Amino acid sequence: MTPERFIALWQNNPLTERAGAQGHFDDLCDLLGVDKPRDLDHYCFERGAGKASGGDGWADVWKRGHFGWENKCPGRDLRAALKQLTDYALELENPPLLVVSDREIIEIHTAFTGYPDQPRHIAIADIGAPENLQTLRWVFTDPEQLRPVKSLAAITEEAAGQFGALAETLRQRGLEAQPVAHFLIQCLFCMFAEDEGLLPRGLFTGLLNRAADDPARAANRLSALFAAMRDGGDYGDETIAWFNGGLFARVDVPPLERADIAALQRAAGMDWRNIDPSIFGTLFERGLNPSKRSQLGAHYTDPATIMRLVEPVIVRPLTAEWQAAKEKIAALLAKSKKHGDKAHKDATAIFQHHLERLRNYRVLDPACGSGNFLYLALKALKDLERRANTEAEALGLQRQVGIEVSPANVLGIELDPYAAELARVTVWIGELQWMLRNGYPYATQPVLRPLDTIENRDALLKVGADGTASEAEWPACDAIVGNPPFLGDKVMRGQLGADYTEALRKCYEGRVPGGADFVTYWFEKARAQVESGKCMAAGLVGTNSVRGGANRKVLDRIVGSGSIFEAWPGPASRPS
């Protein structure tokens, strides 16, 4: 099969999607000189086609460890085909490549864990180009050749470094750190929104380019844009969506210089769709918060470590609940004679009850920092809802159109105002990224729902107007996760102040020994929440030292209150 012959056969071919799919794929294999799909266990047509609902399978073609491939007839929406592959990626064993084609164009999407999607588009008229033939052969023979060069973490670190340098420049000119940080957070969200198409494409970058030599004009236009995002409405000839959410409630653009505009232009030139929310907040906090600047380049709690808490505390129990519900659904559908009979309605009710359970599930991080635990908890819940949808559909039920788990599912408490604001932005960006990547409609009116559930306050003490300290309350939730601050007993007075330390120890007297480390107060409060029925499970990061001395009494109290279902002794920043 030559490229010319392939183009002559398939360009403007009138065959339907079903009639042309396998012939087109077989001819493509001949063109590339690769094997055709003839192995049901490793490389086949119609992977997972035997669904109870009688609908399409998980993928038109599947090759283990290589790709899932979905074919459409010319002119069909390839985004819908990509969404189908994304929905069923787990059933397809998470292949590194997702490929969609309407026979006139082949789109190759990369799905390597921890790396951005770098799609490649090959039109049928250009399929004979040597570089296109090589790319397609790699799809079948060596997907690693298509792995993006930069990981999501590397992209995020680069972006955080650029913003950190600009923040330091502005602070050195005597500008106050907090307003500078707030302004830069607004800018970075605009860059993300522009690249994702939430703002008109090129709007923010064009604003900077047109006013590059006039910083005062740039500042005025940025102020006008932020105000339009706050309220919704017109900005020049463009209509701006209503973003709200609190991020643009305060518009206060600092005095800028040409070098500042140039720095923003360089940052805007990056692809902000690919920042990683699981580390985004931590890295940007270090750059924007002058007290954390010395930590630039230091280790951060990686997503895999965070998931060692999120998985057993949140994912595993909810997965077990869904598995039990799914077995009941399958049994009822086996009895059902037709759609809408009692057995079918009872099966649907079980499914809807589980979705309601997910919608009402709440996760609290009572020391949320810049939001990495909250983001990964939210992502886990959204993944669970998507999986329930796809598996219910495979059983024969009608899936819901949207995903209803949202930022309202995560609650946070954070003392540092820099971190609290970044936590909200981390959750907002993570929510939008997930919905856009998975093909679901995101919220509008406003785009950014207010996140008052992430509170900027002390998680341990509440000080009244008369100066009297009492125990701070935590909101009721289903699960508590987080990485509370660690301060050894001997340094608490120096870091927190003598008055605060004394008030803390007095308030928790009889529950936390006076010589216990700071982190154990979070352990005790989590225990009390579980014991009082205000929480079902908790997982907090600690260090080896929590097992000994006065700290041990806190753990003994936890054991005395119930069972610990999992623990990991280890170094700092490892779950225990």
Q: Is residue 101 part of a domain?
A: yes
Query: Which of 153-157, 293-297, 316-320 has the least mean pLDDT?
Result: 293-297
Are 12 and 90 within one domain? Answer: yes
Q: Is residue 124 part of a domain?
A: yes
Mean pLDDT in the chain?
A: 90
Are 156 and 141 within one domain? Answer: no
Host H or E run for residue 447: none
Are 270 and 361 within one domain? Answer: no
Are 290 and 332 within one domain? Answer: no
Contact present, 195 and 273 (Cβ < 8 Å): yes
Q: Compute the average pLDDT of residues 529-550.
A: 86
Are 536 and 498 within one domain? Answer: yes
Domain boundary among 264, 295, 326: 295
Check pLDDT > 50 for residue 425: yes
Are 88 and 71 within one domain? Answer: yes
Give the integer Cα–Cα distance in Å for 479 and 360: 12
Check pLDDT > 80 for residue 483: yes
pLDDT interval class at 71 (50, 70, 90) = very high
pLDDT interval class at 56 (50, 70, 90) = low
Can you give the pLDDT at residue 562?
67
Domain boundary among 295, 325, 348: 295
Can you give the pLDDT at residue 281?
85
Q: Is residue 34 part of a domain?
A: yes
pLDDT interval class at 76 (50, 70, 90) = confident
Q: Quick check: helix, strand or coil at residue 120?
A: strand
Check pLDDT > 50 for residue 305: yes
Can you give the pLDDT at residue 573?
39
pLDDT tens across 95-121, in order?
A: 999 999 999 999 999 999 999 999 999
Can you give the pLDDT at residue 412?
97
The CATH number for 141's domain is: 3.90.1570
The DSSP symbol for 398 reads P
Query: Which of 230-234, 287-291, 476-480 has the least mean pLDDT?
Result: 287-291
Q: Compute the average pLDDT of residues 498-505.
A: 92
Q: Is residue 300 part of a domain?
A: no
Check pLDDT > 50 for residue 571: no
Q: Compute the average pLDDT of residues 439-460.
A: 93
Check pLDDT > 80 for residue 301: no
The DSSP symbol for 311 reads I
Can you give the pLDDT at residue 53?
46
How many domains does the chain contain in total? 3
Q: Compute the average pLDDT of residues 139-158.
A: 93
One-letter amino acid for residue 40 of the chain: L
pLDDT tens across 178-229, in order?
A: 999 999 999 999 999 999 999 999 999 999 999 999 999 999 999 999 999 9
Can you give the pLDDT at residue 569?
45
Are 141 and 156 within one domain? Answer: no
Q: Compute the average pLDDT of residues 352-368.
A: 97
Host H or E run for residue 181: helix 177-196
Give the residue with greater pLDDT, 454 vs 281. Answer: 454
Percent residues over pLDDT 90 in the chain: 71
Residue 469 Cα to chain centre, angstroms: 37
Can you give the pLDDT at residue 50?
46
Can you give the pLDDT at residue 69?
96
Q: Is residue 353 part of a domain?
A: yes
Are 140 and 157 within one domain? Answer: no
Are 142 and 160 within one domain? Answer: no
Check pLDDT > 70 for residue 3: yes
Q: Is residue 351 part of a domain?
A: yes
Give the residue numbers spanning the domain of 103. Answer: 3-146
Q: Compute the average pLDDT of residues 363-391.
A: 95
Q: Compute the average pLDDT of residues 553-559.
A: 84
Backbone angles phi, psi at 411, to 5 degrees: -120, 140
Can you give the pLDDT at residue 566?
52
Q: Compute the average pLDDT of residues 323-346.
A: 94
Q: pTM, whole model, 2 decimals? A: 0.88
Can you give the pLDDT at residue 294?
52
Q: Compute the average pLDDT of residues 557-566.
A: 69
Can you give the pLDDT at residue 546?
77
Number of H helices, E strands in the chain: 19, 16
Are 156 and 142 within one domain? Answer: no
Q: Choose the most confident range, by mean pLDDT, from 16-20, 525-529, 571-575.
A: 525-529
Q: Compute the average pLDDT of residues 351-356.
A: 97
pLDDT tens across 243-255, in order?
A: 987 899 999 999 9
Are 321 and 468 within one domain? Answer: yes
Q: What is the 3-state secondary structure (H, E, C) of 38-94?
A: CECCCEEEEECCCCCCCCCCCEEEEECCCEEEEECCCCCCHHHHHHHHHHCCCCCCC
Domain boundary among 243, 272, 295: 295
pLDDT interval class at 575 (50, 70, 90) = very low
Give the integer Cα–Cα distance in Å for 311 and 296: 29
Q: Quick check: helix, strand or coil at residue 99?
A: strand
Check pLDDT > 50 for residue 367: yes
Check pLDDT > 80 for residue 394: yes
Are 82 and 167 within one domain? Answer: no
Check pLDDT > 90 for residue 528: yes
Can you give the pLDDT at residue 84?
87
Q: Is residue 274 part of a domain?
A: yes
pLDDT interval class at 34 (50, 70, 90) = very high
- Termini Cα distance of the chain: 60
Check pLDDT > 50 for residue 357: yes
pLDDT interval class at 564 (50, 70, 90) = low
pLDDT interval class at 563 (50, 70, 90) = low
User: What order do you get walking across the sheet with 97-101 strand by strand?
Assistant: 43-47, 59-63, 67-71, 97-101, 105-110, 120-123
Question: Which of 275, 255, 277 is closest to 267 using CA atoms?
Answer: 275
Can you give the pLDDT at residue 300?
65
